[in-house]
Amino acid sequence: AQSVTQPDIHITVSEGASLELRCNYSYGATPYLFWYVQSPGQGLQLLLKYFSGDTLVQGIKGFEAEFKRSQSSFNLRKPSVHWSDAAEYFCAVGTPGGSYIPTFGRGTSLIVHP
């Protein structure tokens, strides 16, 4: 079975600073990888996904993530954070071709200081 770890429960950055949120997964082959964002009281919105191909994936809202097979990681990055990026971020791993639903990490709460 697959699993995913988000080591940071909270991350605090200043507006305009760069951001990296960590995600490590466990799966025997190349998985499907996702990053979702959730604003307070809302559902989850997909930021980006990796299925195959180019390991650097571009998403919405200026986010990108890089799949590193050797490190079993899929870290989310943004060069300059805006106050509106404050939210909960979830990494998820899915199994290609399987009937299993994605497994979600516990989430990382992003706090943005003005």
Partner 1 sequence: KAGVTQTPRYLIKTRGQQVTLSCSPISGHRSVSWYQQTPGQGLQFLFEYFSETQRNKGNFPGRFSGRQFSNSRSEMNVSTLELGDSALYLCASSLAGGSEQFFGPGTRLTVL
Binding site for partner 1 (CB under 8 A): 32, 34, 36, 41-46, 49, 90, 92, 94-104, 106-107
- C-alpha 20/C-alpha 51 separation (Å) is 21
* Nearer of residues 21 and 81 to partner 1, judged by Cβ: 21
* Nearer of residues 68 and 106 to partner 1, judged by Cβ: 106
- 5-25 in b/e burial notation, b at 16+ Cβ within 10 A? ebeeeebebeeeeebebbbbb
* Nearer of residues 53 and 114 to partner 1, judged by Cβ: 53
* Nearer of residues 2 and 13 to partner 1, judged by Cβ: 2
CB distance 92 to 46 below 8 Å: no
Task: Report the 10 Å Cβ neighbour count for 37.
Answer: 21
Smallest separation, CB 106 to partner 1 (Å): 5
Smallest separation, CB 4 to partner 1 (Å): 11
Smallest separation, CB 14 to partner 1 (Å): 26
Q: Tokens representing 88? A: 């909960």
